[in-house]
Copies of this chain bind each other. A is one copy, B any other.
Amino acid sequence: MEEQLRVVPLGGLGEVGKNMMSIEYGDDILVVDVGIMFPQTGMLGIDYILPDWEYLRDKKDRVLAAIITHGHMDHIGALSYFLEEFDVPLYATRLTRGLIEVQLRQRHQLEDATLHTMTPRDEIEIGPFTVEPYHVCHSIPDTVGLGITTPAGLIVHSGDFKFDHTPVDGWPTDYAKLAEFTNREVLLLMSDSTNADTPGRTQSEAVLYDAFHQIMREAPGRLIVATFASLISRIQQVVDVAAEYDRKIAIAGRSMVENTAMARELGYLEIPDEMLVELHEIDRFPPREIVIMATGAQGEPMAVLNRLATGRHHALSIQDEDTVVLSSHTIPGNEEMIHEVINRLFQKGADVYYDPVAGVHVSGHASQEEQKMLINMLHPRYFLPIHGELRHIKHHAKLAEQLGIPKQNIAAVENGYVLEFTDGRMEVGARVPGGYVYVDGTLVGEIGPRLMRQRSELGDAGFVTAVVPFNPRTGRPVGQPRIITRGFVFRPEAEDLLDRAQDVVRSAAVVEPGTKPADVEANIERALSSFLRRETRREPVVTSAVVDIT
Protein backbone atom coordinates (compact mmCIF):
# COMPACT_ATOMS: atom_id res chain seq x y z
CA MET A 1 0.00 0.00 0.00
CA GLU A 2 1.29 3.44 -0.89
CA GLU A 3 1.44 6.27 1.62
CA GLN A 4 -1.61 8.38 2.16
CA LEU A 5 -2.37 11.74 0.55
CA ARG A 6 -4.41 14.03 2.79
CA VAL A 7 -5.98 17.31 1.71
CA VAL A 8 -7.47 19.61 4.35
CA PRO A 9 -9.10 23.01 3.81
CA LEU A 10 -8.31 24.99 6.97
CA GLY A 11 -10.11 27.96 8.46
CA GLY A 12 -13.07 28.74 10.64
CA LEU A 13 -16.67 28.58 9.56
CA GLY A 14 -15.99 30.85 6.60
CA GLU A 15 -15.11 30.21 3.01
CA VAL A 16 -13.78 26.73 2.38
CA GLY A 17 -10.01 26.64 1.87
CA LYS A 18 -10.04 30.29 0.78
CA ASN A 19 -7.47 31.39 3.26
CA MET A 20 -5.43 28.21 3.64
CA MET A 21 -5.10 24.63 2.40
CA SER A 22 -2.94 21.81 3.71
CA ILE A 23 -1.70 19.14 1.30
CA GLU A 24 0.04 16.25 3.00
CA TYR A 25 1.75 13.23 1.58
CA GLY A 26 3.26 10.76 4.02
CA ASP A 27 5.30 12.89 6.41
CA ASP A 28 5.46 15.97 4.23
CA ILE A 29 3.11 18.94 4.13
CA LEU A 30 2.66 21.81 1.68
CA VAL A 31 0.54 24.81 2.61
CA VAL A 32 -1.25 26.81 -0.10
CA ASP A 33 -2.11 30.46 0.78
CA VAL A 34 -2.17 31.98 4.25
CA GLY A 35 -4.78 34.76 4.17
CA ILE A 36 -7.17 36.55 6.48
CA MET A 37 -10.94 36.68 6.55
CA PHE A 38 -12.77 39.95 7.10
CA PRO A 39 -15.10 40.04 10.09
CA GLN A 40 -18.85 39.81 9.61
CA THR A 41 -21.21 42.41 10.99
CA GLY A 42 -21.95 40.53 14.20
CA MET A 43 -18.28 40.12 15.05
CA LEU A 44 -18.04 43.27 17.10
CA GLY A 45 -14.68 44.92 17.49
CA ILE A 46 -12.82 42.29 15.50
CA ASP A 47 -10.12 43.57 13.13
CA TYR A 48 -9.81 40.39 11.08
CA ILE A 49 -9.77 36.63 11.37
CA LEU A 50 -6.92 34.17 10.90
CA PRO A 51 -7.37 30.66 9.56
CA ASP A 52 -7.17 28.11 12.34
CA TRP A 53 -3.93 26.18 11.82
CA GLU A 54 -4.26 24.14 15.01
CA TYR A 55 -4.18 21.03 12.80
CA LEU A 56 -0.60 21.85 11.80
CA ARG A 57 0.75 22.79 15.24
CA ASP A 58 1.95 19.31 16.18
CA LYS A 59 3.28 18.79 12.65
CA LYS A 60 5.50 21.87 12.48
CA ASP A 61 8.60 19.99 11.42
CA ARG A 62 6.74 18.38 8.57
CA VAL A 63 5.60 21.60 6.86
CA LEU A 64 8.00 22.12 3.95
CA ALA A 65 6.76 25.39 2.42
CA ALA A 66 3.86 27.74 1.79
CA ILE A 67 2.94 28.41 -1.83
CA ILE A 68 1.04 31.65 -2.43
CA THR A 69 -1.27 31.95 -5.44
CA HIS A 70 -1.66 35.77 -5.53
CA GLY A 71 -1.29 38.97 -3.56
CA HIS A 72 -4.78 39.68 -2.19
CA MET A 73 -5.15 39.95 1.58
CA ASP A 74 -7.40 36.91 1.83
CA HIS A 75 -4.47 34.88 0.50
CA ILE A 76 -1.42 36.58 2.05
CA GLY A 77 -2.77 38.59 5.00
CA ALA A 78 -2.05 36.06 7.77
CA LEU A 79 1.53 35.31 6.74
CA SER A 80 3.16 37.41 9.42
CA TYR A 81 1.26 35.49 12.14
CA PHE A 82 1.99 32.19 10.41
CA LEU A 83 5.72 32.84 10.15
CA GLU A 84 5.88 33.49 13.90
CA GLU A 85 4.99 29.85 14.38
CA PHE A 86 6.24 28.16 11.23
CA ASP A 87 9.75 28.67 9.98
CA VAL A 88 9.16 27.71 6.35
CA PRO A 89 10.09 29.19 2.98
CA LEU A 90 7.45 31.02 0.93
CA TYR A 91 7.04 30.70 -2.83
CA ALA A 92 5.32 33.48 -4.76
CA THR A 93 5.40 35.16 -8.17
CA ARG A 94 7.18 38.52 -8.45
CA LEU A 95 4.29 40.90 -7.80
CA THR A 96 2.87 38.66 -5.10
CA ARG A 97 6.27 38.52 -3.47
CA GLY A 98 6.45 42.32 -3.62
CA LEU A 99 3.13 42.61 -1.78
CA ILE A 100 4.22 40.05 0.82
CA GLU A 101 7.44 41.98 1.35
CA VAL A 102 5.52 45.21 1.99
CA GLN A 103 3.56 43.41 4.70
CA LEU A 104 6.55 41.66 6.32
CA ARG A 105 8.64 44.83 6.25
CA GLN A 106 5.93 46.73 8.15
CA ARG A 107 6.12 44.10 10.88
CA HIS A 108 9.92 43.83 10.87
CA GLN A 109 9.81 40.21 9.80
CA LEU A 110 11.28 40.52 6.35
CA GLU A 111 14.90 39.83 7.26
CA ASP A 112 13.98 36.54 8.96
CA ALA A 113 11.75 35.27 6.16
CA THR A 114 12.84 33.05 3.31
CA LEU A 115 11.14 34.05 0.06
CA HIS A 116 11.51 32.40 -3.31
CA THR A 117 10.27 33.94 -6.52
CA MET A 118 8.42 31.49 -8.69
CA THR A 119 7.50 31.99 -12.31
CA PRO A 120 4.61 30.43 -14.23
CA ARG A 121 5.74 27.21 -15.91
CA ASP A 122 8.41 26.62 -13.27
CA GLU A 123 8.68 23.12 -11.91
CA ILE A 124 9.59 23.35 -8.26
CA GLU A 125 10.59 20.24 -6.35
CA ILE A 126 9.68 20.40 -2.69
CA GLY A 127 10.08 17.07 -0.92
CA PRO A 128 7.81 14.57 -2.61
CA PHE A 129 5.85 17.35 -4.38
CA THR A 130 6.44 18.99 -7.73
CA VAL A 131 4.71 22.36 -7.87
CA GLU A 132 3.90 23.84 -11.29
CA PRO A 133 2.46 27.34 -11.11
CA TYR A 134 0.52 28.33 -14.24
CA HIS A 135 -0.77 31.75 -15.17
CA VAL A 136 -4.46 32.59 -14.63
CA CYS A 137 -6.45 35.81 -15.05
CA HIS A 138 -7.72 37.49 -11.91
CA SER A 139 -8.18 41.06 -10.75
CA ILE A 140 -4.53 41.33 -9.77
CA PRO A 141 -1.62 40.53 -12.10
CA ASP A 142 0.74 37.62 -11.61
CA THR A 143 -1.91 35.28 -10.22
CA VAL A 144 -1.30 31.57 -10.62
CA GLY A 145 -3.07 28.29 -10.30
CA LEU A 146 -1.04 25.28 -9.22
CA GLY A 147 -0.37 21.83 -10.54
CA ILE A 148 0.93 19.77 -7.62
CA THR A 149 2.27 16.36 -8.52
CA THR A 150 2.33 13.97 -5.59
CA PRO A 151 3.26 10.27 -5.57
CA ALA A 152 -0.49 9.65 -5.27
CA GLY A 153 -1.36 11.65 -8.37
CA LEU A 154 -1.74 15.14 -9.79
CA ILE A 155 -3.68 17.80 -7.93
CA VAL A 156 -4.77 21.01 -9.66
CA HIS A 157 -5.55 24.05 -7.47
CA SER A 158 -7.31 26.71 -9.57
CA GLY A 159 -6.33 29.70 -7.44
CA ASP A 160 -8.71 32.64 -7.86
CA PHE A 161 -9.41 32.70 -11.58
CA LYS A 162 -11.56 33.77 -14.47
CA PHE A 163 -11.26 33.02 -18.17
CA ASP A 164 -10.73 36.53 -19.48
CA HIS A 165 -9.89 36.53 -23.19
CA THR A 166 -8.99 40.25 -23.18
CA PRO A 167 -7.29 40.87 -19.84
CA VAL A 168 -5.70 44.22 -19.07
CA ASP A 169 -2.17 42.83 -19.13
CA GLY A 170 -2.84 40.94 -22.36
CA TRP A 171 -1.91 37.63 -20.75
CA PRO A 172 -4.77 35.11 -20.82
CA THR A 173 -5.01 31.99 -18.67
CA ASP A 174 -2.49 29.29 -19.67
CA TYR A 175 -4.83 26.90 -21.49
CA ALA A 176 -1.92 24.87 -22.85
CA LYS A 177 -0.78 24.02 -19.36
CA LEU A 178 -4.29 22.96 -18.44
CA ALA A 179 -4.35 20.69 -21.51
CA GLU A 180 -1.03 19.22 -20.44
CA PHE A 181 -2.39 18.49 -16.97
CA THR A 182 -5.36 16.72 -18.53
CA ASN A 183 -3.05 14.49 -20.52
CA ARG A 184 -1.27 13.56 -17.31
CA GLU A 185 -4.60 12.69 -15.64
CA VAL A 186 -5.88 14.86 -12.83
CA LEU A 187 -6.58 13.03 -9.59
CA LEU A 188 -8.17 16.00 -7.82
CA LEU A 189 -9.31 19.41 -8.95
CA MET A 190 -9.95 22.04 -6.31
CA SER A 191 -11.58 25.04 -7.89
CA ASP A 192 -12.73 28.58 -7.06
CA SER A 193 -16.44 28.60 -6.13
CA THR A 194 -16.82 32.34 -5.38
CA ASN A 195 -19.35 32.96 -8.16
CA ALA A 196 -20.90 29.48 -8.24
CA ASP A 197 -24.36 31.00 -7.80
CA THR A 198 -23.88 33.34 -10.77
CA PRO A 199 -25.08 31.94 -14.11
CA GLY A 200 -23.27 32.64 -17.36
CA ARG A 201 -19.78 34.09 -17.83
CA THR A 202 -17.99 36.85 -15.97
CA GLN A 203 -17.37 39.86 -18.19
CA SER A 204 -13.88 40.70 -19.35
CA GLU A 205 -11.97 43.52 -17.68
CA ALA A 206 -11.98 45.07 -21.15
CA VAL A 207 -15.63 46.14 -20.88
CA LEU A 208 -14.59 48.65 -18.25
CA TYR A 209 -12.68 50.72 -20.80
CA ASP A 210 -15.97 51.81 -22.35
CA ALA A 211 -17.37 52.83 -18.99
CA PHE A 212 -14.27 54.81 -18.06
CA HIS A 213 -14.19 56.46 -21.50
CA GLN A 214 -17.77 57.58 -21.15
CA ILE A 215 -17.29 58.87 -17.61
CA MET A 216 -14.06 60.77 -18.39
CA ARG A 217 -15.61 62.27 -21.52
CA GLU A 218 -18.63 63.56 -19.62
CA ALA A 219 -17.17 64.41 -16.20
CA PRO A 220 -17.17 68.23 -16.10
CA GLY A 221 -14.54 68.43 -13.35
CA ARG A 222 -12.25 66.20 -11.33
CA LEU A 223 -12.70 62.45 -11.41
CA ILE A 224 -12.15 60.48 -8.21
CA VAL A 225 -11.90 56.71 -8.70
CA ALA A 226 -12.02 54.57 -5.57
CA THR A 227 -11.01 50.94 -5.68
CA PHE A 228 -8.97 48.34 -3.75
CA ALA A 229 -5.31 49.30 -3.51
CA SER A 230 -4.47 45.79 -4.73
CA LEU A 231 -6.57 46.03 -7.92
CA ILE A 232 -3.48 46.91 -9.93
CA SER A 233 -5.17 46.09 -13.25
CA ARG A 234 -8.03 48.46 -12.51
CA ILE A 235 -5.59 51.26 -11.71
CA GLN A 236 -3.81 50.58 -15.01
CA GLN A 237 -7.11 50.86 -16.88
CA VAL A 238 -7.93 54.21 -15.31
CA VAL A 239 -4.44 55.47 -16.12
CA ASP A 240 -4.71 54.31 -19.74
CA VAL A 241 -8.03 56.07 -20.29
CA ALA A 242 -6.95 59.18 -18.37
CA ALA A 243 -3.98 59.54 -20.72
CA GLU A 244 -6.33 59.79 -23.67
CA TYR A 245 -8.19 62.67 -22.03
CA ASP A 246 -4.99 64.46 -20.97
CA ARG A 247 -5.80 64.00 -17.33
CA LYS A 248 -3.08 63.78 -14.66
CA ILE A 249 -3.13 61.09 -11.97
CA ALA A 250 -2.86 61.78 -8.24
CA ILE A 251 -2.81 58.97 -5.68
CA ALA A 252 -4.61 59.26 -2.34
CA GLY A 253 -4.41 56.82 0.56
CA ARG A 254 -1.39 55.12 2.11
CA SER A 255 -1.95 51.58 0.77
CA MET A 256 -2.70 52.98 -2.69
CA VAL A 257 0.52 55.00 -2.64
CA GLU A 258 2.60 52.05 -1.45
CA ASN A 259 1.13 49.50 -3.83
CA THR A 260 1.32 51.69 -6.92
CA ALA A 261 4.94 52.59 -6.12
CA MET A 262 5.86 48.94 -5.71
CA ALA A 263 3.92 47.80 -8.78
CA ARG A 264 5.53 50.54 -10.91
CA GLU A 265 8.97 49.55 -9.69
CA LEU A 266 8.38 45.91 -10.58
CA GLY A 267 6.93 46.85 -13.95
CA TYR A 268 3.36 45.73 -13.27
CA LEU A 269 1.90 49.21 -13.52
CA GLU A 270 2.81 51.78 -16.14
CA ILE A 271 2.27 55.41 -15.27
CA PRO A 272 4.50 57.88 -17.14
CA ASP A 273 6.34 60.13 -14.68
CA GLU A 274 4.92 63.29 -16.27
CA MET A 275 1.39 62.05 -15.68
CA LEU A 276 1.79 61.64 -11.92
CA VAL A 277 1.13 64.66 -9.73
CA GLU A 278 1.18 65.01 -5.97
CA LEU A 279 -2.11 65.48 -4.18
CA HIS A 280 -1.13 68.95 -3.00
CA GLU A 281 -0.39 70.02 -6.57
CA ILE A 282 -3.72 69.23 -8.14
CA ASP A 283 -5.18 72.71 -7.66
CA ARG A 284 -2.61 73.98 -10.14
CA PHE A 285 -4.49 72.16 -12.90
CA PRO A 286 -7.99 72.73 -14.25
CA PRO A 287 -10.38 70.21 -12.58
CA ARG A 288 -11.05 68.59 -15.95
CA GLU A 289 -7.42 67.51 -16.13
CA ILE A 290 -7.34 65.59 -12.88
CA VAL A 291 -8.00 61.99 -11.89
CA ILE A 292 -7.53 60.98 -8.26
CA MET A 293 -7.10 57.29 -7.47
CA ALA A 294 -8.30 56.73 -3.93
CA THR A 295 -8.83 54.05 -1.33
CA GLY A 296 -12.14 53.40 0.37
CA ALA A 297 -14.51 51.80 -2.14
CA GLN A 298 -15.86 49.64 0.72
CA GLY A 299 -16.81 52.75 2.68
CA GLU A 300 -14.12 52.01 5.30
CA PRO A 301 -14.31 54.81 7.88
CA MET A 302 -10.59 55.65 7.80
CA ALA A 303 -10.06 55.48 4.03
CA VAL A 304 -10.00 58.41 1.63
CA LEU A 305 -13.51 58.13 0.19
CA ASN A 306 -15.27 58.11 3.55
CA ARG A 307 -13.16 61.06 4.68
CA LEU A 308 -14.19 62.95 1.56
CA ALA A 309 -17.85 62.06 2.10
CA THR A 310 -17.74 63.32 5.68
CA GLY A 311 -15.40 66.27 5.11
CA ARG A 312 -12.56 64.77 7.15
CA HIS A 313 -9.71 64.58 4.61
CA HIS A 314 -6.66 66.71 5.38
CA ALA A 315 -5.95 67.76 1.80
CA LEU A 316 -9.05 67.19 -0.31
CA SER A 317 -12.69 68.12 -0.22
CA ILE A 318 -15.55 67.43 -2.57
CA GLN A 319 -16.36 70.36 -4.84
CA ASP A 320 -19.12 70.98 -7.34
CA GLU A 321 -18.70 69.12 -10.62
CA ASP A 322 -16.62 66.38 -9.00
CA THR A 323 -17.41 62.92 -10.29
CA VAL A 324 -16.81 59.90 -8.08
CA VAL A 325 -16.57 56.30 -9.28
CA LEU A 326 -16.68 53.31 -6.93
CA SER A 327 -14.97 50.60 -8.93
CA SER A 328 -14.98 47.45 -6.84
CA HIS A 329 -17.33 44.76 -5.67
CA THR A 330 -19.11 45.08 -2.36
CA ILE A 331 -17.89 42.78 0.38
CA PRO A 332 -21.10 41.41 1.95
CA GLY A 333 -21.87 43.32 5.11
CA ASN A 334 -20.50 46.61 3.77
CA GLU A 335 -23.60 47.53 1.75
CA GLU A 336 -25.01 50.08 4.16
CA MET A 337 -21.66 51.73 4.82
CA ILE A 338 -21.12 52.11 1.08
CA HIS A 339 -24.63 53.46 0.48
CA GLU A 340 -24.10 55.97 3.26
CA VAL A 341 -20.88 57.17 1.62
CA ILE A 342 -22.61 57.45 -1.76
CA ASN A 343 -25.52 59.41 -0.27
CA ARG A 344 -23.15 61.81 1.45
CA LEU A 345 -21.10 62.33 -1.70
CA PHE A 346 -24.29 63.24 -3.56
CA GLN A 347 -25.21 65.53 -0.68
CA LYS A 348 -21.89 67.34 -1.06
CA GLY A 349 -22.61 67.92 -4.72
CA ALA A 350 -20.67 65.15 -6.47
CA ASP A 351 -22.07 62.92 -9.16
CA VAL A 352 -21.49 59.29 -8.23
CA TYR A 353 -21.15 56.18 -10.39
CA TYR A 354 -21.23 52.74 -8.85
CA ASP A 355 -22.07 49.18 -9.68
CA PRO A 356 -24.68 48.21 -10.88
CA VAL A 357 -25.96 51.66 -11.92
CA ALA A 358 -22.95 52.00 -14.21
CA GLY A 359 -20.72 49.18 -15.50
CA VAL A 360 -17.70 50.25 -13.45
CA HIS A 361 -16.75 46.90 -12.00
CA VAL A 362 -16.45 43.32 -13.14
CA SER A 363 -15.75 40.34 -10.93
CA GLY A 364 -12.31 38.72 -10.89
CA HIS A 365 -13.85 35.28 -10.42
CA ALA A 366 -15.22 32.70 -12.85
CA SER A 367 -19.01 32.35 -13.16
CA GLN A 368 -20.80 29.06 -13.74
CA GLU A 369 -19.95 28.61 -17.42
CA GLU A 370 -16.24 29.20 -16.79
CA GLN A 371 -16.30 26.90 -13.79
CA LYS A 372 -17.83 24.20 -15.95
CA MET A 373 -15.22 24.89 -18.61
CA LEU A 374 -12.37 24.25 -16.18
CA ILE A 375 -13.92 21.02 -14.94
CA ASN A 376 -14.46 19.84 -18.51
CA MET A 377 -10.94 20.81 -19.56
CA LEU A 378 -9.35 18.88 -16.73
CA HIS A 379 -11.90 16.10 -16.20
CA PRO A 380 -10.54 15.25 -12.78
CA ARG A 381 -11.36 11.98 -11.05
CA TYR A 382 -12.25 13.82 -7.83
CA PHE A 383 -13.55 17.31 -7.28
CA LEU A 384 -13.24 19.60 -4.26
CA PRO A 385 -15.06 22.94 -4.61
CA ILE A 386 -13.16 25.57 -2.57
CA HIS A 387 -13.25 29.36 -2.04
CA GLY A 388 -16.83 29.98 -1.08
CA GLU A 389 -19.42 29.72 1.64
CA LEU A 390 -21.26 26.43 1.85
CA ARG A 391 -23.97 27.72 -0.50
CA HIS A 392 -21.35 28.31 -3.22
CA ILE A 393 -19.68 24.97 -2.54
CA LYS A 394 -23.02 23.17 -2.93
CA HIS A 395 -23.80 24.98 -6.17
CA HIS A 396 -20.36 24.23 -7.58
CA ALA A 397 -20.84 20.58 -6.63
CA LYS A 398 -24.17 20.59 -8.50
CA LEU A 399 -22.42 21.91 -11.60
CA ALA A 400 -19.79 19.18 -11.40
CA GLU A 401 -22.50 16.56 -11.08
CA GLN A 402 -24.22 17.94 -14.18
CA LEU A 403 -20.94 17.45 -16.03
CA GLY A 404 -20.88 13.78 -15.14
CA ILE A 405 -18.59 13.63 -12.12
CA PRO A 406 -20.12 10.98 -9.88
CA LYS A 407 -21.61 12.39 -6.71
CA GLN A 408 -19.44 10.20 -4.50
CA ASN A 409 -16.35 11.68 -6.16
CA ILE A 410 -17.28 15.22 -5.13
CA ALA A 411 -16.38 16.51 -1.68
CA ALA A 412 -18.76 19.38 -0.90
CA VAL A 413 -17.42 19.86 2.59
CA GLU A 414 -16.68 22.62 5.05
CA ASN A 415 -13.32 23.67 6.42
CA GLY A 416 -11.58 21.09 8.55
CA TYR A 417 -12.75 17.92 6.81
CA VAL A 418 -9.86 15.66 5.89
CA LEU A 419 -9.91 14.16 2.41
CA GLU A 420 -7.90 10.96 2.43
CA PHE A 421 -6.65 9.37 -0.77
CA THR A 422 -5.60 5.76 -0.40
CA ASP A 423 -4.76 3.63 -3.43
CA GLY A 424 -6.25 6.34 -5.63
CA ARG A 425 -9.59 6.38 -3.80
CA MET A 426 -10.93 9.36 -1.89
CA GLU A 427 -12.67 9.16 1.44
CA VAL A 428 -13.97 12.08 3.48
CA GLY A 429 -12.54 11.56 6.95
CA ALA A 430 -13.28 13.13 10.30
CA ARG A 431 -13.30 16.85 10.85
CA VAL A 432 -10.28 18.32 12.60
CA PRO A 433 -11.04 20.85 15.32
CA GLY A 434 -11.04 24.46 14.21
CA GLY A 435 -12.85 27.74 14.52
CA TYR A 436 -12.42 31.44 14.03
CA VAL A 437 -9.18 32.90 15.30
CA TYR A 438 -10.09 36.51 15.98
CA VAL A 439 -7.54 39.30 15.89
CA ASP A 440 -8.55 42.24 18.05
CA GLY A 441 -5.90 44.83 18.79
CA THR A 442 -2.96 42.95 20.25
CA LEU A 443 -5.04 39.94 21.20
CA VAL A 444 -4.92 36.97 18.86
CA GLY A 445 -7.21 34.03 19.40
CA GLU A 446 -8.22 35.03 22.92
CA ILE A 447 -11.60 36.37 21.89
CA GLY A 448 -14.11 33.55 22.13
CA PRO A 449 -17.80 33.21 21.44
CA ARG A 450 -18.66 34.12 25.03
CA LEU A 451 -16.94 37.48 24.86
CA MET A 452 -18.55 38.08 21.48
CA ARG A 453 -21.97 37.42 22.99
CA GLN A 454 -21.25 39.88 25.80
CA ARG A 455 -20.30 42.53 23.27
CA SER A 456 -23.46 41.93 21.34
CA GLU A 457 -25.58 42.26 24.52
CA LEU A 458 -23.72 45.42 25.49
CA GLY A 459 -24.20 46.86 22.01
CA ASP A 460 -27.92 46.11 22.10
CA ALA A 461 -28.77 47.59 25.48
CA GLY A 462 -25.68 48.82 27.34
CA PHE A 463 -24.90 48.03 30.96
CA VAL A 464 -26.06 48.92 34.46
CA THR A 465 -23.74 48.44 37.43
CA ALA A 466 -24.87 48.82 41.03
CA VAL A 467 -22.21 49.73 43.57
CA VAL A 468 -23.52 49.03 47.07
CA PRO A 469 -21.81 49.99 50.32
CA PHE A 470 -22.83 47.16 52.63
CA ASN A 471 -22.46 46.03 56.19
CA PRO A 472 -22.15 42.23 56.25
CA ARG A 473 -22.71 42.07 60.02
CA THR A 474 -26.15 43.66 59.81
CA GLY A 475 -26.89 42.33 56.33
CA ARG A 476 -27.96 45.82 55.26
CA PRO A 477 -26.82 48.42 52.74
CA VAL A 478 -25.20 51.56 54.09
CA GLY A 479 -26.41 54.83 52.57
CA GLN A 480 -27.46 55.03 48.94
CA PRO A 481 -26.27 52.51 46.35
CA ARG A 482 -24.80 54.03 43.23
CA ILE A 483 -25.98 53.19 39.71
CA ILE A 484 -23.46 53.45 36.86
CA THR A 485 -24.87 53.04 33.37
CA ARG A 486 -23.78 53.53 29.76
CA GLY A 487 -25.60 52.79 26.51
CA PHE A 488 -28.85 51.83 28.28
CA VAL A 489 -30.95 54.94 28.80
CA PHE A 490 -30.31 58.61 28.33
CA ARG A 491 -29.67 59.82 31.86
CA PRO A 492 -31.57 63.12 32.21
CA GLU A 493 -34.76 61.65 30.79
CA ALA A 494 -34.47 58.40 32.72
CA GLU A 495 -33.68 59.90 36.15
CA ASP A 496 -36.93 58.60 37.57
CA LEU A 497 -36.32 55.08 36.29
CA LEU A 498 -32.83 55.05 37.81
CA ASP A 499 -34.12 56.40 41.14
CA ARG A 500 -36.54 53.53 41.33
CA ALA A 501 -33.75 51.15 40.32
CA GLN A 502 -31.78 52.41 43.31
CA ASP A 503 -34.68 51.47 45.58
CA VAL A 504 -34.85 48.03 44.03
CA VAL A 505 -31.13 47.57 44.68
CA ARG A 506 -31.45 48.71 48.30
CA SER A 507 -34.24 46.27 48.98
CA ALA A 508 -32.38 43.41 47.34
CA ALA A 509 -29.34 44.18 49.51
CA VAL A 510 -31.25 43.55 52.70
CA VAL A 511 -30.29 39.96 53.62
CA GLU A 512 -29.61 37.65 56.51
CA PRO A 513 -26.58 38.83 58.47
CA GLY A 514 -23.57 36.81 57.40
CA THR A 515 -24.71 36.21 53.80
CA LYS A 516 -21.71 35.87 51.49
CA PRO A 517 -21.04 39.01 49.40
CA ALA A 518 -21.26 36.98 46.16
CA ASP A 519 -24.75 35.83 47.13
CA VAL A 520 -25.80 39.38 47.94
CA GLU A 521 -24.55 40.48 44.54
CA ALA A 522 -26.42 37.68 42.79
CA ASN A 523 -29.55 38.75 44.64
CA ILE A 524 -29.10 42.38 43.60
CA GLU A 525 -28.43 41.50 39.98
CA ARG A 526 -31.46 39.26 39.79
CA ALA A 527 -33.78 41.91 41.22
CA LEU A 528 -32.32 44.73 39.15
CA SER A 529 -32.43 42.77 35.87
CA SER A 530 -36.03 41.82 36.29
CA PHE A 531 -37.04 45.35 37.31
CA LEU A 532 -35.36 46.85 34.24
CA ARG A 533 -36.76 44.24 31.90
CA ARG A 534 -40.26 44.82 33.22
CA GLU A 535 -39.98 48.60 32.97
CA THR A 536 -38.24 48.97 29.61
CA ARG A 537 -38.66 45.63 27.86
CA ARG A 538 -34.88 45.68 27.40
CA GLU A 539 -32.08 43.60 28.87
CA PRO A 540 -28.94 45.56 29.66
CA VAL A 541 -25.94 43.71 31.09
CA VAL A 542 -26.36 44.00 34.87
CA THR A 543 -23.48 43.69 37.30
CA SER A 544 -22.98 44.74 40.92
CA ALA A 545 -20.26 45.28 43.49
CA VAL A 546 -20.94 45.04 47.19
CA VAL A 547 -18.34 47.05 49.12
CA ASP A 548 -17.73 46.03 52.69
CA ILE A 549 -18.34 48.95 55.09
CA THR A 550 -17.90 47.55 58.52
Contacts and interface: CB of A to CB of B under 8 A. Distances in A.
A540 to B, nearest CB: 9
B484 A543 contact: yes
A272 interface: no
A454 interface: yes
B45 A538 contact: yes
Contacts of A41: 41, 333, 336
A238 B395 CA distance: 24
B461 A45 contact: yes
A170 interface: no
Interface string A290-301: 000000000000
Nearest to A454: B487
A462 interface: yes
Contacts of A451: 462, 487-490
A343 B394 CA distance: 9
A343 B456 contact: no
Contacts of A56: none
B458 A463 contact: yes
B458 A486 contact: yes
Interface stretch (A177-185, A228-236, A423-431, A439-447): A439-447
A343 B440 contact: no
A335 interface: yes
A294 B395 CA distance: 24
A342 interface: yes
Contacts of A357: 197-199, 395
Contacts of A549: 547, 549
A280 interface: no
Contacts of A487: 451, 454-455, 457-458, 541
Nearest to A352: B391
A465 interface: yes
A486 B543 CA distance: 9
A131 to B, nearest CB: 32
A339 interface: yes
A536 B44 contact: no
Contact of A346 (B394, B450, B543): B394
Given A458-B458, A460-B45, A486-B463, A494 B446 contact: yes
A357 B446 CA distance: 38
Contact of A455 (B459, B536, B537): B459
A2 interface: no
A443 B536 CA distance: 7
Given A390-B347, A484-B465, A484-B543, A489 B352 contact: no
Contacts of A101: none
Contact-residue bracket for chain A: 35 or more
A178 B342 CA distance: 34
A538 B336 contact: no
A448 interface: yes
A547 B339 CA distance: 48
A197 B455 contact: no
Contacts of A152: none
B536 A343 contact: no
Nearest to A493: B446
Contact of A465 (B40, B197, B457, B465): B465
A482 interface: yes
Interface string A320-349: 000000000000110110010011001100
A545 interface: yes
Interface in A190-224: 197-199
Given A463-B486, A467-B547, A537-B442, A389 B339 contact: yes
Interface of A: 40-42, 44-45, 197-199, 332-333, 335-336, 339, 342-343, 346-347, 351-352, 356-357, 389-391, 394-395, 414, 440-443, 446-448, 450-451, 454-463, 465, 467, 469, 482, 484, 486-490, 493-494, 535-538, 541, 543, 545, 547-549
25 contacts: A40-B336, A197-B357, A199-B357, A333-B335, A333-B336, A335-B335, A339-B389, A352-B394, A441-B536, A441-B537, A442-B537, A443-B489, A446-B494, A454-B486, A454-B487, A455-B459, A455-B462, A456-B459, A459-B459, A467-B467, A469-B547, A484-B545, A486-B541, A487-B541, A549-B549
